[in-house]
């Protein structure tokens, strides 16, 4: 079973770290569909973190379609990390490049653009900030 660890100095939210560690384990093949994730009780007994944090991470993973919680049985991995569809990636790359060209034409410099990007990113993934 996967062992979580916590980097309290990283500034990254705890539940995000848990999600990232599951992603990593899936990528490296340490976790496969059918494997059970540790229960919230097991995780907090090792890490001394809030159980809600664990539940939140598992909910996010469930939303991503990576795991599924079976009542009374536990949380299980149901699929490996989806490779993002290259076509989708290319589409977004094109629209982003268009946007950047227009922004530059309007007179925005690199720092301006970065500030705008960060603001928009932050609002979109609001809970992803530590």
- Which of 93, 115 has the CB closer to another protein? 115
Query: Is there binding between residue 28 and another protein (CB under 8 A)?
Result: no
Among 50, 94, 97, 98, binds another protein (CB under 8 A): 50
The tokens for 94 are 């094109």
Q: Which residues face 91 on adjacent strands?
A: none
In the complex, what is the shortest distance from the CB of residue 122 to another protein, in angstroms, rounded to a whole number? 5
Q: If DSSP states are collapsed to H, E and C, what string results for 72-94?
A: CCEEEECCCCCCCCHHHHHHHHH
Q: Say if residues 100 and 110 touch (Cβ distance below 8 Å).
A: no
Query: Is there binding between residue 53 and another protein (CB under 8 A)?
Result: yes
Distance in Å from the first CA to the final CA of the chain: 27
Q: Say if residues 23 and 61 touch (Cβ distance below 8 Å).
A: no
Question: Which of these ranges, 28-36, 52-60, 69-77, 93-101, lies near another protein under the rule CB under 8 A?
Answer: 52-60
Query: Is there binding between residue 123 and another protein (CB under 8 A)?
Result: yes
In the complex, what is the shortest distance from the CB of residue 79 to another protein, in angstroms, rounded to a whole number? 26
Question: Which of these ranges, 20-28, 62-70, 72-80, 120-128, lies near another protein under the rule CB under 8 A?
Answer: 120-128
Query: Is there binding between residue 103 and another protein (CB under 8 A)?
Result: no
Torsion of CA 17, 115, 111, 12, to 10 degrees: -10
Query: Is there binding between residue 17 and another protein (CB under 8 A)?
Result: no
């Amino acid at each position: 079973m996967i062992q979580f660890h916590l980097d309290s100095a990283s500034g990254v939210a705890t539940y995000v770290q848990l999600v990232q560690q599951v992603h990593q384990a899936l990528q490296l093949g340490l976790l496969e569909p059918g494997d059970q994730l540790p229960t919230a009780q097991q995780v907090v007994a090792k890490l001394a973190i809030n159980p809600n944090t664990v539940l939140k991470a598992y909910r996010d993973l469930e939303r991503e379609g990576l795991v599924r919680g079976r009542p009374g049985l536990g949380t299980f991995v149901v699929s490996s990390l989806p490779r993002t569809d290259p076509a989708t990636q290319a589409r977004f790359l094109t629209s982003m490049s268009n946007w950047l060209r227009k922004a530059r034409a309007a007179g925005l410099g690199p720092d301006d653009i970065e500030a705008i990007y960060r603001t928009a990113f932050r609002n979109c993934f609001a809970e992803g900030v530590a």
